[in-house]
A = this chain, B = another copy of it.
Amino acid sequence: MHIVLASASPRRRELMEMLGAPALRIVPAKGEERPPEGVGPEELVKALSAAKAREIAALSEKDDVIIGADTIVWHRGRVYGKPRSREEAIAMLEALSGETHEVYTGVTVIRGEAELCEAERSLVHFRELSRREIEAYVDSGEPMDKAGAYGAQGKAALFVRGIEGDFFNVMGLPLCRLGTMLRKQGVELL
């Protein structure tokens, strides 16, 4: 039996290693599924995480446990994905400055025929940011591969007054919920 993480995210990999997950394999899904339209953030991340997990489950051994995950930043009714340019990163951070946004991660855990699919929501409170700070942060290179253009586990820690919910959800993998889902699939991490 392997635990197979169907994600290319280095942060998710680090978190699974931090938990000491045994027999961990990383097999990133291509994730070419088109996102469902006209659904809320919870349904969206659940659908995208399930598509990733199913893609890799089809290539895996019968007893493997496959984990798919998808994270979005949600603010004023809009999805904030990874910024496509320096300008877009600056615009995202200006929109988040001084406000509270939501982070949703969908998690799907598949073992054989059993598929569990859930979503976790956290609130993130940003303090007011100056234009100078935003530009210095974007120029550090940290935002470009991250939904919402920030990494709460990096220098953007200086921007986050506080959160409500699971911090690791903001990093991309809600560990407490994932632990419970894995236990239901027969895997104990402790």
Q: Which residues of A contact B (CB under 8 A)?
A: 15, 18-20, 122, 127, 133, 136-137, 140, 152-155, 157-168, 175-176, 179-180, 189-190
Contact = CB atoms under 8 A, between A and B. Distances in A.
Please tell me how many copies of the chain the complex holds: 2
Contact of A155 (B20, B140, B162, B165): B20
Contacts of A180: 127
A122 B176 contact: no
A32 B2 CA distance: 49
Nearest to A121: B162
A168 B176 contact: no
B155 A19 contact: yes
Given A157-B176, A161-B176, A163-B167, 12 more contacts: A15-B157, A18-B155, A18-B157, A19-B155, A19-B157, A19-B158, A157-B168, A158-B190, A160-B176, A162-B176, A163-B165, A163-B166
